[in-house]
Structure 1
Amino acid sequence: MITLSRRGFLAASAATAASLMLASRARAQSARISLTATTRTLDVRGRAATVWGLMDGNGRSGLVLDPGQAFAVDLTNTLVEPTIIHWHGQIPPNAQDGVPDMPMTTLQPGESRAYDFAARPGTHWMHAHIPAHEMLLLAAPLIVRRPEDVAADRQDVTLFLHDFSFKPPAEVLAEITGGASMAGMDHGQMAQGGMDHSGMNMGAVGQGDMMSMPGMDGMAMDLNDYNFDAYLANDRTLDYPEVVQVDKGSKVLVRVINAAAATVFWIDTGALTGRLVAVDGEPVQPLPGSRFGIAMGQRLDIELDVPAEGGAFPVLALREGARERTGLVLATPGATVTKVADMSDADHPAFSADLTQEAVLRAVTPLPERAASSQPMLMLGGSMMPYVWTINGQTWGKHSPVTAKTGERVEIMFHNMSMMAHPMHLHGHAFQVVGVGQTRIAGAVRDTVHVPPMGMVTVAVDAGEAARWMLHCHHMPHLSTGMMTEFAVSA
């Protein structure tokens, strides 16, 4: 074993990483909160990297709101490019949702904009709704604490995950898409194309068959379509991970946020006993385990028990279908912290292959039972060559909206006929997973659900504000080539 050096890296990064651990006591904040889109510098494997970020008035990454505190934020853009921020997991007025030109224009360099709405409790995050900007790490945690979080005798720790490339995002997107990507300043008018697999009958296919199932061209399911230079946890690699001091015999709530552009992870709690207690900010019936999957845009709250004898305990994020890993270390006072390699001995299994985890999650507060007014099916399709991803065979700009009236219950079935999984995110709403394959369940309440290759997931949603709400895949290269439609709600 090699003893891990405590050598710090760049001061800006250290301040950022330290801010990601939430204090157990309430954080005093002024009536209005300042948030700045700005540049910052990280040390990634000994190389300085200039990235973007969202910093509060004290130079900390992200925001933590106390129970009942309003989301009263003044956002200022100090970047050289226009951008716009989406409050992922929140339900703001549509005008404040943060999608380019739907309906607000991007925030110009030097411009400030005020946001005011009731904050939705839970583990959420905020990020640019422009794929290239999100890939520049223009994202941060957005934690809204519940009264029970304040009352609980446990420590809060945030694990914020990124995939990172030293190359500019436009170059990365061009390599992935073969030039098909719209890596510019807005979602724009995407090229139409891709494969239509809607004629296939998937009724006889079980979830366990997916890993071995060949694709339309004889190829197996594709888990990763880009090898990033590094995988970051709280802005660090395992070369010098964040070491969080915890007490012997204590409880720790690890709030995991997958802010990666195109990487699905397993969260491995190692020697610590774990319970998954919330997904996407919404409590679930505790699910015991030491390994939980998380797709892009999703969040997991995992409660851990630190043993009375103490020690050092890595909490790792394992890249699915590959050997790379990242994470942080929970350590009690005086514990010896040893270096953790950033590569496992063998490839990690696929999380995207099936719906086993989703099928056993149960909401603590499910949606009320009621009949659906409509049950639209969205066929998720696409291909690697040409690299184009579609919903019902259409790309953004040529899409057909899902429609509803305010207050109506709609059940949306996502039917994935492609060989890649798709984390589907709906803006402005929370939905409940009510179907996995052909099986009805009273599943988790979420805002982002991962749909496996050749799999089906059905969600129930009660239509909210009359407006156009984005519904899209949270895999950034898929989004950038058109995998987006809208949930168009009328009065």
Structure 2
Amino acid sequence: MTNHISRRGFLAVTAAMAAATTLPVQILAQSSALRLTAGTRTIDVDGRAATVFGLLNERGGHGLILEPGQRFEVALRNDLDVDTIIHWHGQIPPNDQDGVPHMPMPVLAPGETRHYDFDPLAGTHWMHSHIPVQEMQLLAAPLIVRRPEDVAADRQDVVMFLHDFSFKSPEEVLAEIASGEGHGGMDHGSMGHGGMDHGAAQPMAGMNHSGMGGMAMDLNDFDFDAYLTNDRTLSDPEVVRVERGGRVKLRIINASAATTYWIDTGIEGRLVAVDGHPVEPVGGKRFGLSMGQRLDIDLDLPAEYRAFPVFALREGEKERTGLILAPAGATISRLAAIGEEAAPPFDINLAQEGALRALDPLPSRDASKSRAVLLDGSMSPYVWTIDGRTWDDHLPIVARSGERVEMTFRNRSMMGHPMHLHGHSFQVVAIGNRRFTGAVRDTVHVPPMTSLTIALDAGEAANWMLHCHHMPHLSFGMMTEFQVQA
């Protein structure tokens, strides 16, 4: 006798099978507060054991999934032997729960537990230490808040949590980057190995590039030992069991310290959300994301007994990571961690960003404050600034609670900067002088020599961090405050 299983039944079974090793769903009725522990764990990186940090839920899995209507009610315990603090990236909690050291709350001492309770924003988000060297040690995890329409859509969720990884300590990595040794001997004018010859580049958005001459754009400033998807390399990738002809939502989170990726789905997909916020669907097979950003991509799998690899391609290089979607009976082929061709630079003309349109844009109103935010820095000396100042010498950007603010990021450096604002969602409203109703985000990629404008409504009266999410850039100065006054 043949037993038939419905799609909903199939998804329930596969979710249960995955719960032990991936992201167990926490049911609202179980208890009042979820437990989350910052601790150590061991992962296998190409056959070599590595001790890293992690955020473990009460079932021993990595990260949290909240169901529609569930509050973010969490007890966070620090089981590390060092102080830590966790930022809920993409969420808008009260300022004293935002998770920045001493702004205003102190770090968590070893053995200490702290409680959090707020109404979360739905979508694909994540959580990580706001101490850069700890984030580089993988003290980060997915934070998924499902919408009612996610449940109704009857679509299988697949999380891709991307990391760059080094067996060296974060302190060694930062020292090598600062000394110029991190991308050993690279020719910054050589396309495909960390740099781009601007003599062959297309004109970029919103800036006059006539004075760039032969200057090279620096895509990467460190060669990591491995690039991970859900803690695994392509030597032993995660194989996600899917229904033949099934429907999948890829929730992709770039938790890397210093790496931008192109996502190559192999089959036609639809980009339906960025940074947790829905956008008008954009079709394609390749979409990019910088550090701190997230993409939701819907896939309708062909009704074929074959595997469907999904790759994350390192910008400007041949390295790649990824996972495999495979129905029962599909042949799983070995995948090389080095591709045949280097991936191109990510969105240097802001074509992807310019194509996005928010499904739920900010209410239309005129800005009462407009402010240019200048992004500068160099590889030697390795210093990165906002408005010409590092964090130690920063001047806050000031606004009043409730007012509409526009910030124009002007990147005058030769590296891209994923700019992240705490405590707010903002909307991209201009590239150069071209106005449009762009995506709602919390992290926006500003390529070299570009100009991009965001709009936001200033929220709770408090000091909120504004910084580059490239961890070496942040570590060497690229952070300031958005100071909201009552």
Q: TM-score, normalised by structure 2?
A: 0.89
2:205–2:450 Cα contact (<8 Å) kept: no
| Structure 2 residue 438 is the aligned partner of structure 1 residue 481 | no
> How do residues 84-123 of structure 1 correspond to structure 2 at under 5 angstroms?
84-123=85-124
CA distance in 1, matches of 2:459, 2:206: 37
CA distance in 1, matches of 2:205, 2:339: 24
Q: For residues 66-107 of structure 1, what are the alpha-carbon distances to aligned partners after superposition, in whole Å with 9 as ceiling and x for unaligned?
A: 101000000000001001100000000000000011111110
Q: Flag the 1:313–1:29 CA change in 2: closer, same or farther, 3 A.
A: farther
Aligned-pair distance for 1:341? 0.4
CA distance in 2, matches of 1:16, 1:331: 14
Aligned to 1:368: 363
Q: Flag the 1:102–1:233 CA change in 2: closer, same or farther, 3 A.
A: same
**SS, match of residue 237 in structure 2:** coil
> How do residues 405-444 of structure 1 correspond to structure 2 at under 5 angstroms?
405-444=400-439
| Structure 2 residue 259 is the aligned partner of structure 1 residue 258 | no
Q: Flag the 1:213–1:373 CA change in 2: closer, same or farther, 3 A.
A: same
Aligned to 1:235: 231
CA distance in 2, matches of 1:127, 1:213: 40
Residue type matched to 1:263 in 2? T
Match of 2:203 among 186, 201, 206: 206
Match of 2:285 among 272, 283, 290: 290
CA distance in 2, matches of 1:50, 1:407: 45
Structure 1 portions without partners, runs of 5+: 1-14, 180-204
Q: For residues 323-380 of structure 1, what are the alpha-carbon distances to aligned partners after superposition, in whole Å with 9 as ceiling and x for unaligned?
A: 0000000001100010110001121101052200000000000001101011100010
Residue type matched to 1:343 in 2? I
> How do residues 9-408 of structure 1 correspond to structure 2 at under 5 angstroms?
19-20=21-22, 29-178=30-179, 206-207=203-204, 218-270=214-266, 272-408=267-403
Aligned to 2:197: none
**SS, match of residue 218 in structure 2:** coil
Aligned-pair distance for 1:438? 1.4
CA distance in 2, matches of 1:345, 1:60: 35
Aligned-pair distance for 1:248? 1.3
**SS, match of residue 207 in structure 1:** coil
Aligned-pair distance for 1:209? 11
Q: Flag the 1:209–1:483 CA change in 2: closer, same or farther, 3 A.
A: closer
CA distance in 1, matches of 2:245, 2:66: 27
Aligned-pair distance for 1:153? 1.7
Aligned to 1:3: none
2:206–2:431 Cα contact (<8 Å) kept: no
Q: For residues 396-442 of structure 1, what are the alpha-carbon distances to aligned partners after superposition, in whole Å with 9 as ceiling and x for unaligned?
A: 12111111111100000000000000000000000000011211010
Residue type matched to 2:364 in 1? E
1:317–1:325 Cα contact (<8 Å) kept: yes
2:28–2:70 Cα contact (<8 Å) kept: no
2:85–2:129 Cα contact (<8 Å) kept: yes
Aligned-pair distance for 1:280? 0.1
CA distance in 2, matches of 1:22, 1:70: 16
1:72–1:115 Cα contact (<8 Å) kept: yes
Q: Tell me how large the CA RMSD over aligned residues is.
A: 2.1
CA distance in 2, matches of 1:28, 1:125: 23
Higher relative contact order (CA 8 A, sep 6+): 1
Structure 1 residues 295-304 or 306-315, which shifts more?
306-315
Aligned-pair distance for 1:42? 0.3
Q: Flag the 1:243–1:28 CA change in 2: closer, same or farther, 3 A.
A: farther
Residue type matched to 1:176 in 2? I
CA distance in 2, matches of 1:480, 1:457: 23
2:24–2:59 Cα contact (<8 Å) kept: no
2:280–2:358 Cα contact (<8 Å) kept: yes
Aligned-pair distance for 1:309? 2.2
Residue type matched to 2:334 in 1? K
Aligned-pair distance for 1:22? 6.6
Aligned-pair distance for 1:215? 5.3
**SS, match of residue 420 in structure 1:** coil
Aligned to 2:8: none
Aligned-pair distance for 1:207? 1.9
**SS, match of residue 375 in structure 1:** strand
CA distance in 1, matches of 2:210, 2:235: 37
1:352–1:453 Cα contact (<8 Å) kept: no
**SS, match of residue 418 in structure 1:** coil
CA distance in 2, matches of 1:310, 1:115: 45
2:462–2:485 Cα contact (<8 Å) kept: yes
Q: For residues 131-152 of structure 1, what are the alpha-carbon distances to aligned partners after superposition, in whole Å with 9 as ceiling and x for unaligned?
A: 1000000000000000011111
Q: For residues 146-174 of structure 1, what are the alpha-carbon distances to aligned partners after superposition, in whole Å with 9 as ceiling and x for unaligned?
A: 00111112100100000000001111011
1:77–1:83 Cα contact (<8 Å) kept: yes
Aligned-pair distance for 1:26? 6.4
Aligned-pair distance for 1:34? 0.2
CA distance in 2, matches of 1:16, 1:112: 28
Q: Flag the 1:49–1:214 CA change in 2: closer, same or farther, 3 A.
A: farther
CA distance in 1, matches of 2:82, 2:72: 25
- Aligned pair count reads 450
Structure 2 portions without partners, runs of 5+: 1-16, 181-201
Aligned-pair distance for 1:21? 5.6
**SS, match of residue 456 in structure 2:** strand
Residue type matched to 2:420 in 1? H
Residue type matched to 1:41 in 2? T
**SS, match of residue 472 in structure 2:** helix
